[in-house]
Amino acid sequence: MKILILSIIIAFSGQNDFNKVDELVEQRKYSDAFSLLNELDPNNEKPDALRRKIDICVDNYIMSIGHQLFALKNLEDGEEIEELRGKEGNYDMFSLDVSSIAPPIMEKYPENYKLKFSVGRYYHSMHLNCGNCSMSAADCISEFERLFEECYENEVYDYFSTYGIAYAKINKQQFKESIPYFLKSIELKDGYPSSHYNLSYAYLYIDDHENCIKYAKKAFERYDYPAYKADAAKIAATAYKELQDLENAFKYYTIANDIYPGDYYTLAPLINLSLYLKKDEIKKLRDQFFLVDTDNPTIYDDLIQAYYDYADITDLLSYFESLKPKYKKDFATLGSLHFYTGKINLEAGNNEKGKELLSSAKTEFLKVYPEDHQVFPVIDQLLK
C-alpha cells in the first residue's frame, strides 16, 4: 500500500511540474518553459515532456539551425514571435534533434498519439520552414503524412494536420484521395484559405469543374495576399475555360490580372481569350504582356501564335514596328523586335524585307551577345 501511495504522489508531482510548464507557455515564457522541461526530463525519456518541447519549438522558435537548434525567448509585453522571427537578437539556444530522439520513445509508447501528433507537426514545420535541413522534402512529407494519418485514425487531429495529410497526397498526385482530408480541414477551420484553394486544385485535376469553381471562389474570398487571391481567381478561370464558358474564364483571368498585374501565367491565356472573343482590352493586355520580358522569345512566340490563331498577324507586325523607336538603346529588345518582324515577313513571303530585318537583328544582338550565342545560327539559317 505504501508503494502505491508513493507512486500516486510521484505521478501527481510530475503532473504539477507539467502544469508549471504549461503556465509558463501561457505566459509566453518560452525559454523558461523549455529550461524547466530539460530539468524534468534531461535525457528525453518522458513522452509528455518531449511533446511539450516539440510544441514550444515548432510554435515559438525565433530562429532555427537545421530544425535541430532553436532560438527561444521569454517575450516581453508587445513582442510577437512573427515580428521577431529571423531577426538578430539575444536569444537562448536549445538543442532538439527530434528525428533521432523521437523514434525510440514512440516505439516504447506506441499508443501515445499526442506525442506522435507533435512529432508530425515537427516534420510538417521542417518541410515548410527549414530551407537547409539534413532531411529531404520528400522524407519530411512522408513522415508527417504517416504520423498524421495514424493520429487521425485514433481521433487526434486538427485542421492543419488534416490539411497536411491532404497536401501530402496532392504531392503524390493522389487528388481524389486528398479530398476528404481537405473537406475535414475546412470543417474544422473554414477560414483557412489554403484548404479551399488546394481542394479546388484537387477537383480541377479530377475534372470536377463545378466544385473546383466553388472552392476557388471561397479561397479567393478568404485570401488577403494579392498573389494568392490572383491564383485562386486563375483556378476558377481555368475551370471555366475547360467548361468552354469563355466569358467567365475571361472575367476571372481579368480579376487575377487586376489584383496581381504582370503575371505571365495570367496574361498568356488572357491574350488568347481577348483575341478570340474580340475584346477591346487587347491593346492594353498586349502592352502588359510584352512588358513581362521584352527580350524573351516566349513572349514573342506566344503573341505571334495567338495572332495567327485568332486575329490578323499584320496588326501584330505593326505593333512590333511601333515599339522599335522606344527600344533603340535596348539592343537585346530591339534585336528581338527586328528578328520577329523579319520572321513574320519571311513567313508572309516578303523575303527581301524579312532578310533585311534579320540582318538588323544580328547587328543589334552582336552588341550584347557573344558570337557563339545560339541565336546566330538561327539567323544565319533564315538568311540562306
- pLDDT of 37 strictly over 90: yes
DSSP letter (8 states) at residue 76: P
Compute the distance between CA of residue 315 and CA of residue 334 in angstroms, rounded to an integer: 18
For cell 515532456, what's the residue? Answer: 49
Q: What is the pLDDT of residue 6?
A: 45
pLDDT of residue 12: 44
Residue-level pLDDT at 123:
96
pLDDT score, position 9: 44
- Detail the DSSP E strand segments found in the chain: 63-65, 69-72, 92-95
Q: What confidence tens digit (pLDDT) does each residue in 93-147 have?
A: 999 999 999 999 999 999 999 999 999 999 999 999 987 788 899 999 999 999 9
As a whole number of angstroms, the distance between CA 229 and CA 130 comes to: 25
More confident residue, 242 or 1: 242
In sequence order, the 6+-apart residues with CB closer than 8 A to the CB of 235 are 197, 200, 201, 204, 212, 216, 219
With contact defined as beta carbons under 8 Å apart, do 88 and 71 qualify? no
Return the closest-CA partner of residue 82 out of 59, 64, 53, 66.
59
Neighbours of 318 (CB within 10 A): 11
The set of cell numbers assigned to 60 is 515559438
CB 230 within 8 A of CB 256: yes
Task: Record the cell numbers describing residue 174, joined without a space.
Answer: 493522389
Show the CA angle centred on residue 160, arms to residues 168 and 171, nearest 5°. 15
Q: Of all residues in the chain, what percent carry a pLDDT higher than 70?
A: 96
Mean pLDDT of 160-173: 97
Round to whole Å and give the CA distance between 68 and 375: 49
Residue 15's pLDDT band (boundaries 50, 70, 90)?
A: low
pLDDT tens for each residue of 219-274: 999 999 999 999 999 999 999 999 999 999 999 999 999 999 999 999 999 999 99
What confidence category does residue 14 fall into, taking pLDDT thresholds of 50, 70 and 90?
A: low
